Chain A
Amino acid sequence: MKYNRQLLIGFSFLGLMLTSSIFAPLLLRHDPNALASPAETRHASPSFEHWFGTDQFGRDVFTRVLYGGRISLLIALAVVICAVAFGALYGAIAGYLGGWWDQIFMRVVDALLAFPVVFLAVTLMAVFGTGLKWLIIILILSSWMDVARVVRAEVLSLKQRPFIFKARAAGLHAPRILFYHLLPNAFATVLAAAILRVAEVILLESALSFLGLGAQPPTASWGAILNDGKAVFATAWWITTFPGLAIVTAVLSFNLIGEGLRSSQSK
């Protein structure tokens, strides 16, 4: 196997972030939500005690970034798993049926893609309320269409392959062909698309949390920490800079892995 630098860098950063987030309660001495009583520990700049400084309530930013990672990454992965499950099924059915059904299925996707996601989220949350539950639902609703498109395209090309012809000539039923012959062969493409999707969901989740529509205080997510620090950026740059870097690193890692997988397939 050829040495793939994109995959190596992507997996290294991602591994670091995932393990530090998962094991955050074991690694850290500070409570992410504990308020500091003495006023002097608020807005403390980065030091040996507080690596990323403290925020306006004296909470340790390093601790909050790691705990925020648990929320942000968990939401992103959960959303993408649901979106891929639904999107892959939808796209595969559209591609397999073809013809008019395909047209109808895909025009629905086009219509949904035409909606501006943030606008849609703000409207829906104004109606149904904010919070993680609604955030996740809205993220799923806005993420499955891309997966459906990718899977449909893949199924359309796989459908012409001789082994699908063989399966049909043997009299196999459509669901059997779909689930045992088409989808398993589309797996690699779906995986690469899904991983690229994770990066976009992280960004979207951060944006919505930054707008106050996602994780509610005191729960930390990367977007929410950014929101905490935005008013004091000029005096306490560390509150916004470090969660921002975390977002950039996570998005970059997922993009590198997704691109790396895609290029290793096409070789």
Chain B
Amino acid sequence: MNPLLQVTGLQTYFFKDKKILRAVDGVDFHINAGETLALVGESGCGKTTTAFSIFRLLPPAGKIMGGAIEFRGRNLLALSEKQMVAVRGREMGLIFQDPSSALNPVMRAGEQIAEVIRRHFRETHRAAKQQALALMEKVQLPNVEMIYDNYPHQLSGGLRQRILIAIALAGKPALIVADEPTSALDVSIQSQILALLKQLKEELQLSLLLITHDLGVVAQMADRVAVMYAGKIVEEAPTHALFTAPLHPYTVALLNAIPQISFSHLGGQKKFTPLLGVVPDLTNLPSGCTFHPRCPVRMEECQHKIPPKFFPAENRIVRCFKYEAVGVWEAKAVERG
């Protein structure tokens, strides 16, 4: 079966002051129907740009330079803008990071759901309102009649995020892209929103592309994980495998950087290792493997050669020379099998 979404060799660059910023530089991944893929990485590694590239909604400076985005059997990059407008919202919905700024401040909350329903299904105002109210109940909003008529500033962050989820669902899409859906929320609200997303995904048989830097969210939500660093996906694995046996040194460092809740270390023992350094300047990337300046196990060749994809085990992909020997062997095994 073909995957619902197949991204191959996606390159999205930003052009600013004669500099080229390679925000997404050769990204491959796929999402099967009903699956949740988490795209993980530090801020500024190109996660959000990847998401917006799928919608073909980039700021004026951004441009998709290469690759293909196959969605339901057609390449979205080959569609006209007019055809693309019909895909957005109807076939794929987007959930935003900051619910406080993602709602129109001078339009009633419910109307922002209803307008999307009217746009995609040619409903009357009355029918669209009824459907919007039903959708608001589905995202577990209380007092839907009242909240429908509220303006965004009258609602709390959690309620606003539920409205945004309802807007993303209003076109009955097959794929939901959630860009840091819980980062701006309180911890208690975070778990509610995640539980809601999980439930809606099962109920509506959605595929979910979850973009986050929070590995706790990944563990809770994802079927598979793609780890992104400086515009490239450096490791891809099923969630359980990634957490129990991370391969790429960057993934290892990310996992070690999670503070653990533990009371045994009150004597002063450190339970986590911070990941030192920052994501490199995307306009001036290091040679070879882009992670090598921060890598604790770097080798000579990492500084000159860009690591290709290696396949060290079933369903696992890693871009690191450490797995060169295993990778080749495994790839051959796959071919034979």
Interface residues of A (CB under 8 A from B): 98-99, 160-163, 165-173, 176, 180-181, 184-185, 187
Chain B nearest CB, measured from A73 CB (Å): 30
Give chain A residues whose Cβ lies under 8 Å from the Cβ of B171. Answer: 170-171
A-B contacts, CB under 8 A, total: 73
Say yes or no for B101: interface residue by CB 8 A criterion.
Answer: yes
Q: A-facing mask of B97-128, CB < 8 A → 1, else 0?
A: 11001111111000000011001100000000
- A166 pairs with B164, CB closer than 8 A: yes
Give chain A residues whose Cβ lies under 8 Å from the Cβ of B105. Answer: 163, 185
Give chain A residues whose Cβ lies under 8 Å from the Cβ of B168. Answer: 170
Say yes or no for B193: interface residue by CB 8 A criterion.
Answer: no
Give chain B residues whose Cβ lies under 8 Å from the Cβ of A172. Answer: 89, 115-116, 119
Give chain B residues whose Cβ lies under 8 Å from the Cβ of A176. Answer: 115, 119
| Bound Cα distance A173, B86 (Å) | 9
| Bound Cα distance A196, B111 (Å) | 33
| Bound Cα distance A161, B102 (Å) | 8
- B119 pairs with A163, CB closer than 8 A: no
- A173 pairs with B85, CB closer than 8 A: yes
A162-B97, A166-B104, A170-B170 provided; 9 other pairs, C-beta below 8 A? Answer: A165-B57, A166-B102, A166-B164, A168-B57, A169-B55, A169-B88, A170-B94, A170-B167, A184-B107
- B104 pairs with A181, CB closer than 8 A: yes
Chain A nearest CB, measured from B322 CB (Å): 39
Say yes or no for B219: interface residue by CB 8 A criterion.
Answer: no
| Bound Cα distance A121, B86 (Å) | 48
Interface residues of B (CB under 8 A from A): 55, 57, 59-60, 85-90, 93-94, 96-98, 101-107, 115-116, 119-120, 164, 167-168, 170-171
- B106 pairs with A185, CB closer than 8 A: yes
| Bound Cα distance A160, B62 (Å) | 13
- A166 pairs with B86, CB closer than 8 A: no
| Bound Cα distance A144, B183 (Å) | 44
| Bound Cα distance A245, B102 (Å) | 49
- B98 pairs with A171, CB closer than 8 A: no
With A165-B57, A166-B167, A173-B119 as contacts: A185 and B90 at CB distance below 8 Å: no
Chain B nearest CB, measured from A173 CB (Å): 7
- B59 pairs with A170, CB closer than 8 A: no
With A170-B89, A171-B171 as contacts: A98 and B60 at CB distance below 8 Å: yes
Give chain A residues whose Cβ lies under 8 Å from the Cβ of B106. Answer: 184-185, 187
Give chain A residues whose Cβ lies under 8 Å from the Cβ of B170. Answer: 170
- A168 pairs with B88, CB closer than 8 A: yes
Give chain B residues whose Cβ lies under 8 Å from the Cβ of A187. Answer: 106
Closest to A163 in B: B104
Give chain A residues whose Cβ lies under 8 Å from the Cβ of B88. Answer: 168-171
Among the listed B85, B96, B167, which residue makes an inter-chain contact with A162, where contact means beta carbons less than 8 Å apart?
Answer: B96
Closest to B90 in A: A171
Give chain B residues whose Cβ lies under 8 Å from the Cβ of A163. Answer: 101-105
Give chain A residues whose Cβ lies under 8 Å from the Cβ of B94. Answer: 166, 169-170
- B86 pairs with A185, CB closer than 8 A: no
| Bound Cα distance A21, B295 (Å) | 79
- A180 pairs with B115, CB closer than 8 A: yes
Give chain B residues whose Cβ lies under 8 Å from the Cβ of A161. Answer: 101
- A171 pairs with B85, CB closer than 8 A: yes
> Can you sample 5 A-B contacts with CB below 8 Å?
A162-B102, A168-B57, A169-B93, A169-B94, A171-B87
Give chain B residues whose Cβ lies under 8 Å from the Cβ of A98. Answer: 60
With A162-B101, A163-B105 as contacts: A169 and B85 at CB distance below 8 Å: no
Give chain A residues whose Cβ lies under 8 Å from the Cβ of B104. Answer: 163, 166-167, 180-181, 184-185
Give chain A residues whose Cβ lies under 8 Å from the Cβ of B107. Answer: 180-181, 184
Give chain B residues whose Cβ lies under 8 Å from the Cβ of A166. Answer: 94, 96, 102-104, 164, 167
Give chain B residues whose Cβ lies under 8 Å from the Cβ of A181. Answer: 104, 107
Among the listed B90, B96, B115, B119, which residue makes an inter-chain contact with A165, where contact means beta carbons less than 8 Å apart?
Answer: B96
- B119 pairs with A171, CB closer than 8 A: yes
Closest to A172 in B: B119
Chain B nearest CB, measured from A140 CB (Å): 28
Chain B nearest CB, measured from A234 CB (Å): 56
Closest to B82 in A: A173
Chain A nearest CB, measured from B56 CB (Å): 10
Give chain B residues whose Cβ lies under 8 Å from the Cβ of A173. Answer: 85, 119
- A162 pairs with B57, CB closer than 8 A: no
| Bound Cα distance A263, B257 (Å) | 47
- A171 pairs with B102, CB closer than 8 A: no
